[in-house]
Amino acid sequence: MNDNLFDAFVKEKLQTHKAAVPADMWERIAATKEPNRRPIFIWWLAAGFLLVSLGTIAYWQWNGNSLTANENATTTDNTVAKATQPYSNNKNDNSTTKAPNQTQAIAPQTTSASATIATASNNNSSASNNSQNTSDNTKPQQNHLSIPTNNTQPSNTSAFGNSAFTVRKKSNKKIRSLATASISNATTTANLDAATFNASAYDGTIAWQRQFNNAAKLNTALDAASMIGLDCPSANGRIPKTWYIEAYTSADMAFRNLRSASSAYESYISKRDSMENSTLSYTTGVRGVIGLTNQLFLKTGVQYSQINERFSQRIENERKLTTVITIRTVVRSPGDTLRVSDTSSFETVGYITRRGNNQYRSFDIPVLLSYEWGNDNWKLGITGGAIINVYSWYKGNMLDSTLLPLLPTATHTGNLYKHNIGIGAYASMSIIKPISNTLSIFAEPYLRYNFGNISGNKAFTQRFHVAGVQLGIRYQINNH
Amino acid sequence: MIQGCIRQDAKYQRMLFQQYASTFMAVCQRYANSADEAEDMLQEGFIRIFRFIHQFKFEGSFEGWMRRIMVNTALKQLQKKRINFTEIKDHHADTTQQSLEPYAYSHLGANQLMELINNLPTGYKTVFNLVVIEGYSHEEVAEMLGIQPGTSRSQLVKARKMLQNQIIALQKVAV
């Protein structure tokens, strides 16, 4: 009975009891709540980035195919229209005056959205064809530019093999202007040469030689265009896309950027700096590569990264106080004995060193653009883009921000670190060595700069920047 | 205010915190072994309340619902340290064969009682808090702590006895 009264008394006194709350408690709670909302923003950002990337690829794909189809439909007509005009034998004066006009008419065309150069060669010519071509040449607007190389029929085969190429609309103004400048120069030279040729009435053999020279100039222009990333359509007219798959592993070194949010945590930062040291880390992944042009590639895939740290903490383990009492008996004379005791003490402090490995792990999606150039033996490349973190987790020993407890964490550290560290920038240079038609090996020194702070509270900010060398293999999936 | 907290509106969350923080701080202090531990419990408890408030079904007392979360959070933190429910030999067991009379403790204030409870071993203190103050049955306590109901009963008896002995000792000092 009395026990029940006692229990009721305690309950009455304590159930509504209130205690003082630390002034900064709300700030601490608010600080730990914020990271929960941030990943949502990160995910939206990542989704947007992927959407834009995919949209760009889709647009590129669609635009490239439509242009190619258009070219196939119009190349023959233009060849009919433009071919053989400068070398017309029965238009001595007119051809001389028309050549500059043609050059003027052609020049603006090079600024249009697309240009197709079709070359043809044949020794046969006919007056009817020439007259028809003359009338066609008076049309000032053409979407496609045809450069004649000889008197020709529409169905003639090309003197340069598959020499038609496409300059992609809106793809790269610089590339386009460079290509059109080369084409324009070649065209102008061809026309001027043709005029001179007509005026001096050379025979067909000399015309052939001159024509061959023009063809060589055009070839040079085509080579230049090819070097700056222009596509050659395949036999069926579609621009072939090159697909690769890359697998790689890298040895990394992480650089930690650890800063306290306020002076109150300076001791915490210095303590952690003295206890944690970076060791060799690694990244491994697989990514798909699509060739946007001959030299521009989009890369994306998935990769796993692990940053390793060695943790070492020296803490006081025991303190031992030893007291030594020495008792001496001094006999000064018979019957006069003096007993002397000396007391001394010393303290022994024992330390224990805790060692462990801290591991910061993450799954990421790289979205990269790469530009590559070189020859069949060696290629060089530069790559840049974003590394989007999908999920991060941690394992190891971490000091709590209160400095007091050492958290022996199994798989994660509670609110100490975030599970999504956001987006990082990626930059690299690569050297690629083809070892067969479809297989290459590559080495890629890189730098990853993380923008996100991985710390889950406001006591400190912590970022990792990683440098490493990727070694990998590249396999070409489609071989055309 | 609850709806605001469900929307994760910081303004309402802060209002909720200001209204209940001192009450729950006292709860945490009864379970914790130190002031720092009590603060950690309170912090973690409020984070859980804000995270799971959408699960509150508006049935029963909202404060009771929050208190349950706070107590569970405190128990979780204590379980990390593995509460020891072994018997502790009480040297003063013989002095209180009969129960304490009400006049012996009626003058005690809440703060004094808190101090006395905090002097109890963790196992005793936890069971005493859960049964006497929170009102859980021994079966519920056994399930929460992963012990036998009999252990809960015996821990409560021992806890009460030790607490009463402390009160008697206080009286002797006062005399």
pLDDT digits (tens, 9 = 90+) for A46-96: 677 777 777 776 676 666 554 444 444 333 344 333 433 444 444 444 433
Q: For A5, which of B43, B102, B113 is closest by C-beta distance?
A: B102
Angle at A72 between CA A68 and CA A76, to 5 degrees: 150
Q: Do A383 and A451 reside in the same domain of the chain? A: yes
Whether chain A has a CB inside 8 Å of the CB on B138: the answer is no
d(CA A91, CA A151): 13
Domain C-terminal end among A194, A227, A260: A227
- Average pLDDT for A97-123: 39
How much is the pLDDT for B98? 56
In which band, very low, low, confident or very high, does the pLDDT at A287 lie, cut at 50, 70 and 90? very high
In which band, very low, low, confident or very high, does the pLDDT at B11 lie, cut at 50, 70 and 90? confident
Q: Which residue has the higher pLDDT, A136 or A385?
A: A385
- Average pLDDT for A123-142: 41
Q: How many domains does chain A have?
A: 2
Q: How far is B110 from chain A (nearest CA, A)?
A: 5
* Interface test with chain B among A12, A21, A41, by most B beta carbons within 10 Å: A21
Contact between chains at B100 and A2 (C-beta distance less than 8 A): yes
Cα–Cα distances in Å, from A6 out to A363, B49, B128? Answer: 58, 32, 12
Q: For residue A35, tell me if it sits in a domain.
A: no
* Interface test with chain A among B18, B42, B97, by most A beta carbons within 10 Å: B42
User: For residue A244, what are the β-bridge partners?
Assistant: A289, A476
Residue A296 has pLDDT above 80, yes or no: yes
Cβ contacts (< 8 Å) between B98 and chain A: which residues? Answer: 2
pLDDT, averaged across chain B: 81
Q: Which of A96-100, B76-80, B165-169 has the lowest average pLDDT? A: A96-100
How much is the pLDDT for A445? 95
* Stretch 82-111 of chain B: residues touching chain A, C-beta under 8 Å: 98-102, 105-106, 108-110
How much is the pLDDT for A471? 95
pLDDT tens per residue across span A135-191: 444 444 444 444 444 444 444 433 343 433 443 444 444 444 444 444 444 444 445
Q: For A29, which of B43, B108, B135 is closest by C-beta distance?
A: B43
| CATH number given to B93-174 | 1.10.10.10
pLDDT tens per residue across span A189-205: 445 444 444 544 445 55
Percentage of chain B exceeding pLDDT 70 = 85
Fold of B2-80: Rna Polymerase Sigma Factor; Chain: A (1.10.1740)
Contact between chains at A3 and B99 (C-beta distance less than 8 A): yes
Most confident option among A95-99, A257-261, A285-289, B70-74: A285-289
Q: Do A361 and A451 reside in the same domain of the chain? A: yes
Contact between chains at A33 and B101 (C-beta distance less than 8 A): no
Nearest Cα to A95, choosing from A192, A175, A160? A192
How much is the pLDDT for A430? 94
Interface confidence, given as ipTM, is 0.80
d(CA A271, CA A265): 10
Strand A336-374 and strand A296-333: the pairing is antiparallel
Percentage of chain A exceeding pLDDT 90 = 20
pLDDT tens per residue across span A247-270: 999 999 999 888 877 776 777 777
- Measured between CA atoms, the residue of chain A closest to residue B25 is A19
How much of chain A is helix, strand and coil, in % rounded to 5?
Answer: 35, 40, 25
Domain C-terminal end among A227, A256, A274: A227
d(CA A322, CA A359): 42
- Average pLDDT for A273-287: 90
How much is the pLDDT for B174? 54
- Non-local (6+) Cβ contacts of B11 within 8 A are B4
Domain C-terminal end among A227, A253, A268: A227
Cβ contacts (< 8 Å) between A15 and chain B: which residues? Answer: 133
- Average pLDDT for A420-430: 91
Q: Do A101 and A197 reside in the same domain of the chain? A: yes
Contact between chains at B133 and A404 (C-beta distance less than 8 A): no
In which band, very low, low, confident or very high, does the pLDDT at A305 lie, cut at 50, 70 and 90? very high
Q: What is the DSSP string of A263-311?
A: GGGHHHHHHHHHHEEE--EEEEEEEEEEESSSSEEEEEEEEEEEEEEEE
Q: Do A274 and A409 reside in the same domain of the chain? A: yes
Residue A399 has pLDDT above 90, yes or no: no
pLDDT, averaged across chain A: 68
Q: Which residue has the higher pLDDT, A459 or A74?
A: A459
Cα–Cα distances in Å, from A148 out to A14, A16, B100? Answer: 102, 99, 118
Q: Do A309 and A360 reside in the same domain of the chain? A: yes
Q: Do A223 and A247 reside in the same domain of the chain? A: no
Judge whether A315 and A351 are in contact, CB under 8 Å: yes
In which band, very low, low, confident or very high, does the pLDDT at A412 lie, cut at 50, 70 and 90? very low
Q: Where are the domains of chain B?
A: 2-80, 93-174
Q: For residue A331, tell me if it sits in a domain.
A: no
Cβ contacts (< 8 Å) between A5 and chain B: which residues? Answer: 102
Contact between chains at A19 and B29 (C-beta distance less than 8 A): yes
Nearest Cα to A284, choosing from A305, A299, A301, A253? A305
Q: Do A258 and A394 reside in the same domain of the chain? A: yes
In which band, very low, low, confident or very high, does the pLDDT at A284 lie, cut at 50, 70 and 90? very high
Q: For residue A337, tell me if it sits in a domain.
A: no
Q: For residue A134, tell me if it sits in a domain.
A: yes
Task: Provide the phi-psi class of A436: left if phi over 0, else alpha when psi is between -120 and 50, else beta.
Answer: beta
Judge whether A443 and A471 are in contact, CB under 8 Å: yes
Cβ contacts (< 8 Å) between B39 and chain A: which residues? Answer: 22, 25
Q: Is A21 exposed, middle or buried, given 0-12, 13-18 or 19+ CB atoms closer than 10 A?
A: buried
Most confident option among A90-99, A408-417, B150-159: B150-159
Q: For residue A376, tell me if it sits in a domain.
A: yes
How much is the pLDDT for A307? 93
Residue A116 has pLDDT above 60, yes or no: no
**Prediction pTM value:** 0.40
Percentage of chain A exceeding pLDDT 70 = 54
In which band, very low, low, confident or very high, does the pLDDT at A444 lie, cut at 50, 70 and 90? very high
How much is the pLDDT for A211? 60
For residue A118, what are the domain limits?
59-227
Whether chain A has a CB inside 8 Å of the CB on B21: the answer is yes
Strand A406-409 and strand A296-333: the pairing is unpaired
- Measured between CA atoms, the residue of chain B closest to residue A414 is B44
d(CA A404, CA A439): 55
How much is the pLDDT for A273? 81
> Could you give the 3-state DSSP secondary structure of residue B147?
coil
What CATH number does residue A468 fall under?
A: 2.40.160.20
Q: For residue A390, tell me if it sits in a domain.
A: yes
DSSP-derived letter for residue B15 is H
Residue A472 has pLDDT above 90, yes or no: yes
Q: For A6, which of B18, B99, B110 is closest by C-beta distance?
A: B99
Residue A6 has pLDDT above 60, yes or no: yes
Residue B16 has pLDDT above 80, yes or no: yes
Q: Do A197 and A74 reside in the same domain of the chain? A: yes
Q: Do A205 and A282 reside in the same domain of the chain? A: no
- Average pLDDT for B134-148: 86
Nearest Cα to A43, choosing from A455, A450, A427, A419? A419
Residue A428 has pLDDT above 90, yes or no: yes
How much is the pLDDT for A127? 39
Q: Do A273 and A378 reside in the same domain of the chain? A: yes
- Average pLDDT for B95-116: 72
Contact between chains at B43 and A6 (C-beta distance less than 8 A): no
- Non-local (6+) Cβ contacts of A299 within 8 A are A246, A287, A288, A289, A290, A366, A367, A368, A369, A370, A383, A385
Both tokens assigned to A409: 């964490």
Q: Which of A201-210, A262-271, B10-19, B106-115 has the lowest average pLDDT? A: A201-210
In which band, very low, low, confident or very high, does the pLDDT at B165 lie, cut at 50, 70 and 90? confident
Residues of A within an 8 Å Cβ radius of B: 1-3, 5-7, 9-11, 13-22, 25-26, 28-30, 32-33, 36-37, 402, 404, 415
> Could you give the 3-state DSSP secondary structure of residue B150?
helix
Q: Do A307 and A414 reside in the same domain of the chain? A: yes
Residue A37 has pLDDT above 60, yes or no: no
d(CA A220, CA A231): 16
Judge whether A12 and B132 are in contact, CB under 8 Å: no
Q: How many cross-chain Cβ pairs, A to B, lie less than 8 Å apart?
A: 87
